[in-house]
């Protein structure tokens, strides 16, 4: 967590607390694989984000895009749990979200980040390059007889099985044009700063950011 030490203000909340997002992403990545990865990625990313909290200055954290989604899906991905979502092509059905059906709850953070920073891309802190699109999103849909799960805005699709949800296969990841890829995340947490804090130095500008011990 110490490598991420520059943060941008996203919004000031009604209670005076401040949502802040890291300017950069972590130098290391985490990769989620298969059905287990899809079912647990929201909770795992939030767990990792919690490592960036500091009891002196923050009251909480989240991974960008988290807004109450089911963190750990415990039911198997099956026809029985997903029900008639199989005919839904919109990517969102509140009834099936707890079972892996996808969500649109990420849109609140996406709006904040795009509105304040202009982009949801962020660069690797160690080299200030290799910018990733960083946002949490679950999405499920059927296409050409295969079941697809889209985990983020990183522009990849992860195919796990057939349209009848049988015969699970290893992760197949393809981006536009069919180019293979690895569904990996660099970490870019959001932390919630306490209200009424006084900085040690700085004025909050990009040239002189607020500094805390």
Whether this prediction's pTM lies above 0.75 is answered by: yes
Q: How many residues does the chain have?
A: 213
Of 22, 40, 18, 15, the C-alpha closest to 30 is 40
Please check whether residue 27 is in contact with residue 19, taking contact to mean a CB–CB distance below 8 angstroms.
no
Helix (H) or strand (E) holding 149: strand 146-152
Give the tokens for residue 206: 């990009």
Helix, strand, or coil here: 133? strand
Q: Which residues of the chain have pLDDT under 50?
A: 86-89, 153-177
Give the tokens for residue 80: 């029985």
- Residue 17 has what pLDDT? 95
How confident is the model over 135-175, as pLDDT tens digits?
Answer: 777 766 555 555 555 555 444 444 444 444 443 334 444 44
- Residue 4 has what pLDDT? 93
- Residue 183 has what pLDDT? 59
């Amino acid at each position: 967590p110490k490598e991420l030490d520059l943060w941008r203000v996203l919004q000031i909340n009604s209670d005076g607390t401040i949502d802040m997002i890291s300017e950069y992403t972590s130098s290391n990545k985490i990769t989620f694989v298969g059905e287990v990865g899809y079912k647990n990625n929201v909770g795992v990313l939030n767990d990792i984000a919690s490592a960036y909290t500091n009891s002196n200055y923050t009251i909480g954290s989240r991974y960008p895009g988290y807004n109450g989604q089911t963190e750990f899906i415990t039911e198997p991905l099956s026809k029985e749990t997903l029900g008639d979502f199989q005919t839904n092509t919109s990517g969102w059905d509140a009834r099936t979200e707890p079972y892996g059906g996808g969500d649109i709850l990420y849109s609140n953070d996406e709006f904040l980040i795009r509105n304040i920073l202009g982009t949801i891309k962020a660069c690797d802190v160690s080299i200030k390059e290799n910018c990733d699109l960083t946002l949490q999103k679950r999405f499920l849909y059927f296409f050409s007889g295969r079941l697809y799960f889209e985990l983020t805005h990183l522009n990849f699709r992860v195919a796990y099985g057939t349209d009848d949800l049988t015969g699970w296969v290893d992760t197949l990841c393809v981006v536009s044009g069919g180019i293979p890829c690895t569904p990996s995340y660099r970490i870019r947490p959001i932390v919630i700063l306490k209200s009424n804090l006084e900085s040690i130095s700085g004025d909050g500008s990009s040239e002189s950011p607020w500094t805390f011990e």
